[in-house]
Structure 1
Amino acid sequence: MYAIFSHGGKQYTAKKGQIIRLEKINFKVGLNFTINNILMIVNNKKVKIGNPNIINSNILGNIIRHGREKKIKIIKFKRRKHYKKQQGHRQYFTEIKIIDIISK
Structure 2
Amino acid sequence: MYAIVEIAGQQFKIEKGRTIFTNRLEGDVDAALVFDKVLLTDDGGTIQIGAPGIDGVSVNATILEHLKGEKVIVFKKKRRKGYKKKNGHRQYLTKIRIDDIVI
Which residue number in structure 2 is paired with residue 15 of structure 1?
15
Among all aligned residue pairs of Structure 1 and Structure 2, give the percentage whose two residues are the same amino acid: 35
Q: Which runs of 4+ in 1 moved over 4 A?
A: none
| Whole-angstrom distance in 2 between the partners of 1:9 and 1:17 | 22
Alpha-carbon distance in 2 for matches of 1:10, 1:25:
12
CA distance in 2 between counterparts of 1:62 and 1:81 reads: 51
Summarize deviations over 1:47-86 as a string: whole Å, max 9, x none.
0011011111100001110000011100111111211111
Structure 1 stretches of 5 or more lacking a match?
Answer: none
With the length of structure 1 as denominator, give the TM-score of the two structures. 0.95
Paired residues in the alignment total 103
- How far 1:8 moved relative to its partner? 2.1
Counterpart in 2 of 1:99? 99
Give the TM-score normalised by structure 2.
Answer: 0.96
Give the aligned partner of residue 30 of structure 2: 30
RMSD: 0.8
